[in-house]
Each structure stands twice: as C-alpha cells, then as structure tokens.
Chain A
Amino acid sequence: MAQRPLSPHLQIWKWGPHMLVSILHRITGDGLALAGLGILLWWLGALASGPEAYANFAGWVWPDLGALEWSGTAILLSLIKVVLKLVMIGLSWSFFTHMCSGLRHFVMDLGAGYELDLNKFWSIASPIIAIILTAGFWALLLLA
C-alpha cells in the first residue's frame, strides 16, 4: 500500500451525534449481517430438523437463567448461553437502530434534511426512537 497521508480518523474529530448515528448504522448493520443472519439460519435449520433440534436451539439462545448450572465444566456452557441471550437482545436493538438510521438515510438520499438543526435533531432522535421500539418489542413479546 502506498504511503500516502491518511485522512484523520475517529479519534481526531470532535464527537457529534451525526458521527454517532453513522457509526451505529455500520456497527449494527454488520452485527446483524454476521451474528443476526447466522442465528436466523440456526433457527430455520432447527425448525427444519424437528422439535428436538428446536428445543436445543432455544436452550442455547434463550436459556432459563434460573436453571443454568454454575459448577465444573458447565460454567463455560452457561456463560455462552448467557452471552447468546444478551446477543439476542442486542440483535433486536441492532435491527431497530439500523432501521431508524436507515430511514434517516432514505430521507437524506432524497436530498432532504441537511439543514444543521434538523440534521442534528434526527441524528439524536433516531437512536433514541430505536431504544423505545426495542423496549416496546420485548414488552409486547414477553408481557402481552
């Protein structure tokens, strides 16, 4: 690679909501692509393989936290299950975050919303709306 001068990277700039929403869009998108689609395929594969495989899948990604064993070699497996449960919650947050910042991109693709105040407002609003949607999703899924 040619030794050209590089443009300033993340640590150089003063942080603003526009940077945050842009970086969140990439992180959540790549997280959904790598982890989200992987778990989606695991889910579909388990469904196509029958009830036992499905129960096994559910035991990994959505374990009953009270029933996990915390002794001997089971500690490692329990730890992975807890992480997977957090990943599932993280994926739902990633989807709503990517969706909100994606909708913001649609508006900007049309050439609208570049006024400084308006742009800043939606940069802040997008991730906040996403958190509200994520909370609403889990409330409807688990409580309703």
Chain B
Amino acid sequence: MGNGTSIGRVRGLGPAHHGAHHWLLQRFTAVGNLLLVLWFVVSLILLPDLGYGSVSEWLAKPLPATAMVLLIVSTFWHARLGLQVLAEDYVHEAGNKFAVILLLNLAAIGGGAFGVFCIVRLALGGAL
C-alpha cells in the first residue's frame, strides 16, 4: 500500500466484498453435513450389525464410499470454520491466534486427507 497519493492511502482498506465468504461457506457445508450425516445415521441403523464384515463390505461399495468421502470433506471443512470462530473469540493475543488458526488448518486438512485415504483403501481392496 502506498502512502503518497490519496488513492494509495485508501487502496486495500475498503470493502473487498468478501466479508460474507466465511459465513456463507459455513452454511454451504452445514447443508452438506445435514444431508451426509443423516445418510450416515440412517445407514448405521439399517446395517444388519456394526461388525467388521458388514461395515467394511458396505463402505467399500461405490455409493457409500463416495458419500463418506464427501462427508469427510464437508464435516472437516465445517469444523475448520467453526473452530476458527472459537479461536477468534477466545484467543485474544494476535500471535497465538495466528498460531492456533495455522495449526487448525494443518489438522483439518491432514485429518480430512487421512479419512479420505482410509475410505479409498477400503474401497479399492487394500485392507486385509
């Protein structure tokens, strides 16, 4: 940002029209969570039992595997947004807040990647 001309002093300070971005994504992922977690809840009820055989056979099928991958993405994204608000509300010191949100991003993306990998491994027959 410049400090000479009058336009240089204000450029970048005005509304970028991205203010609602976080809020909207929280809603988009909330709708995703609503559909996907309800699917998950109903699936758990409908499974004959929750032993390894029944669950792994079910989750390896294309549609359940796809839905579970989407569930992981939607819930981890939503959790990342929600926990960010928690940090912004309760971690007051700017440096600590930055560190917490940085770790949150690593954990959310790392956790989500692990979840997706496990589903893919199960679906593609890698598990014993």
CB <8 Å contact, A47 and B52: yes
Q: Is B56 on the interface with A (CB-CB < 8 A)?
A: yes
In the complex, how many angstroms separate the beta carbon of A110 from the nearest chain B beta carbon? 11
CB <8 Å contact, B111 and A41: yes
Q: Is A48 on the interface with B (CB-CB < 8 A)?
A: yes
Q: Is A26 on the interface with B (CB-CB < 8 A)?
A: yes
CB within 8 A of A51: which of B50, B52, B92, B93?
B52
CB <8 Å contact, A47 and B44: no
> In this complex, which of B41, B75, B83, B92 has the most chain A Cβ atoms within 10 angstroms of its Cβ?
B41
In chain B between 36 and 79, which residues have their CB closer than 8 angstroms to a CB of chain A?
37-38, 41, 44-45, 50-53, 55-56, 59, 68, 72, 75-76, 78-79
Which residues of chain B have C-beta atoms less than 8 A from A103's C-beta?
34
Q: Is A65 on the interface with B (CB-CB < 8 A)?
A: no
Interface segment among A28-36, A70-78, A124-132: the answer is A28-36
Which residues of chain B have C-beta atoms less than 8 A from A99's C-beta?
34, 37-38
Which residues of chain B have C-beta atoms less than 8 A from A68's C-beta?
none
- The residues of A with any CB-CB pair to B shorter than 8 Å are 1, 26, 29-30, 32-34, 37-38, 40-41, 44-45, 47-51, 54-55, 58, 95, 99, 102-103, 106, 109, 137, 140-141, 144
Q: Is B109 on the interface with A (CB-CB < 8 A)?
A: no
Q: Once the chains are docked, how many angstroms separate the CA of A48 from the CA of B27?
A: 31
CB <8 Å contact, A48 and B126: yes
Q: Once the chains are docked, how many angstroms separate the CA of A32 from the CA of B68?
A: 17
Q: Once the chains are docked, how many angstroms separate the CA of A45 from the CA of B30?
A: 25
Q: Is B121 on the interface with A (CB-CB < 8 A)?
A: yes
CB <8 Å contact, B45 and A45: no
CB <8 Å contact, A141 and B44: yes
Q: Once the chains are docked, how many angstroms separate the CA of A55 from the CA of B50?
A: 11
CB <8 Å contact, B122 and A37: no
CB <8 Å contact, A29 and B82: yes
Given A1-B92, A41-B114: A33 in contact with B82 (beta carbons within 8 A): yes
23 example contacts (A-B, Cβ-Cβ < 8 A) are as follows A1-B92, A26-B86, A29-B82, A32-B79, A34-B83, A37-B76, A40-B75, A40-B115, A41-B115, A44-B68, A45-B114, A47-B52, A47-B56, A49-B127, A50-B128, A51-B52, A54-B51, A99-B34, A99-B37, A103-B34, A106-B27, A106-B30, A137-B45
